[in-house]
Chains A and B, each alone.
Chain A
Amino acid sequence: MHIPDGILPVPLTAGGYAIAAAATWYSVRRINQKEDPRENVPKAALLTAAFFVASWIHIPVPPASVHLVLNGLLGAILGYFAFPAIIIGLFFQAVMFQHGGLTTLGVNAVIMGAPAIVAHYVFRLRRLGNKESRAKIAILGFLSGSTAVAISVAIFIAVLLTNLPSQLDTVAETAAIYALALAYLPVMTIEGVITSLLVLFIQRVRPAILDGV
């Protein structure tokens, strides 16, 4: 779901940078409102690195395999640090692995980061009611993970549909994009299950992580 350089028109890449800059500014502003904003920087940075590394793990889905996106979990755990963390992860991917791009960094950050913020609010719903039961955490973990991927796919498809070459066969183009969306259905489910298992694991081993950074 990372759009490479050279495909999108400049107004869109510039718009992506503008939205990403605004979201980062808002996130940094919220972080700076904390009593000691720098206290959580090492935690957020190391968790960012850990998420980045975890996204290299491949899940066997015969006959192929998929890798984890983890933007839902990232939003659930990192809160307002999630958007900067995603920009950093995408920047590393573009510079070191040529995955994504430098001009499309803003657009890709919106595709991955906006759903992470949504996931943050979805996972916060666990605080509603009297206690945080494991069932509630598991369900909201699943919803955070799968919803984030679903929204990312939706934004990705919207960007593609509105910016593909004008001479493309419309029928073939629409069919290919819908096929892409269908291919992501199992990924959304797997991402939801993994996120759910992961938050349950963290709750049992180190529940402080779920309180956010």
Chain B
Amino acid sequence: MKLEAIDQYATLRSPFHSWDPRCKLIGFMALIFAFSFVRDLRVLLAMAVATITIYLVSGLPVSFIVSRLRYPSLFLLVLLLILPLISGQTIVTSIGPLGIRQEGLNGALLIATRFLAILTTGSVLFGTAPFLTTIKAMRALGLPAILADMVLLAFRYLHEIGDDLQRMQMSMKLRGVRSSRFNLRSLRIPAWMSGSMLVRSYERSDSIYKAMVMRGYGQATHYRDDFHARASDISILVVFLLAAGGFVVGEMICGRGSVPL
């Protein structure tokens, strides 16, 4: 399991690494939602430039974003292959019996660019601070305590439960269990394996709760976070909010000639 991959470069030095996590969350989420507004190809180009600039400033290595594109690349490939063939009427060229359509090409370009921009920006948001710090920032911004505690605990024990699953699967293989056939037995094996994981987790949660109570969990204490927004943090936030607003306004001005989607 490589859950910790998101924290791999969280301790580098860049303006985004040292940015107050609360301001960073607000700024990046505003920009991400502004990106999802974009439909005009000219604004799309500006969005691509902004995304590349943000990634370069973050100091994250190219290998980081490439590794995160491994799974979505399948989705992008399907989109880029299918949409130009089935969307629109204006045929620009043909490959054998298949016509490549202008509207489909534009649509595929738009969705793919928007997708990549949001994914890259999101990767910078979560890749430039330890994941737990980002969750604490969410709590400081008003995420309900129950949700924040659940996220922190679930993240803490994902690794261990994942390792439990790997051990169970390994033990099954060593005992000669073959699960390549489809029958009732092949369904019973994953059901019981999942059941064992749930029972173990449930029992583990008892001792965790007792340990947490011993350390004062559940007492009426005021939550105190360690975040301090400096003037420079606020300034970067203002730049991000202005940029997000700029994309929305730019889209409204240029949007009349946009790709209809």
Contact = CB atoms under 8 A, between A and B. Distances in A.
Contacts of A70: 194
A194 B150 contact: no
B113 to A, nearest CB: 8
A167 B87 contact: yes
Given A47-B202, A98-B72, A202 B195 contact: yes
Contact of B111 (A7, A14, A88): A7
Interface in A24-76: 24, 28, 31-32, 36-39, 41-54, 56-57, 59-62, 68, 70
Contact of B5 (A68, A77, A96, A208): A96
Interface residues of B, number: 81
Given A59-B187, A165-B261, A198-B195, A36 B218 contact: yes
A60 B180 contact: yes
Nearest to B104: A167
Given A38-B218, A42-B153, A95 B122 contact: yes
B150 A45 contact: yes
Contact of B186 (A53, A59, A81, A206): A59
Interface string B127-161: 00001000000000000101101111111011001
B198 A209 contact: yes
A124 interface: no
A84 B205 CA distance: 18
Interface stretch (A99-107, A112-120, A126-134, A154-162): A99-107
Contacts of B165: 53-54, 56-57
Interface in A1-30: 4-10, 13-14, 24, 28
Contacts of A4: 72, 75, 115
Nearest to B152: A45
Contacts, number: 225
A190 interface: yes
Contacts of B261: 9, 165-166
A168 B87 contact: yes
Given A5-B36, A198-B194, A167 B154 contact: no
Contact of B107 (A9, A165, A173): A165
A60 B186 contact: yes
Nearest to A77: B198
Given A43-B205, A45-B205, A95-B122, A206 B199 contact: yes
Interface string B98-117: 00010110010001111111
The range of chain A's interface size is: 35 or more
Contact of B146 (A53, A84, A94): A84
B173 interface: no
Given A10-B36, A46-B154, A46-B201, A103 B118 contact: yes
Given A6-B36, A59-B186, A28 B6 contact: no
Contact of B201 (A49, A61, A172): A49
B146 A47 contact: no
Given A39-B218, A62-B182, A101-B118, A46 B157 contact: yes
Given A88-B151, A103-B33, A194 B191 contact: yes
A41 B86 contact: no
A201 B195 contact: yes
A30 to B, nearest CB: 11
A195 to B, nearest CB: 8
B171 interface: no
A88 B147 contact: yes
A205 interface: yes
Contacts of B186: 59-60
A71 to B, nearest CB: 14
Contacts of B150: 41, 44-45, 48, 81, 84-85, 88
Contacts of A62: 180-182
Given A57-B194, A98-B68, A173-B86, 9 more contacts: A4-B72, A28-B144, A38-B218, A46-B154, A46-B202, A49-B155, A49-B161, A92-B155, A201-B192
Interface of A: 4-10, 13-14, 24, 28, 31-32, 36-39, 41-54, 56-57, 59-62, 68, 70, 77, 81, 84-85, 87-88, 91-92, 94-99, 101-103, 165-169, 172-173, 190, 193-194, 197-198, 201-202, 205-206, 208-209
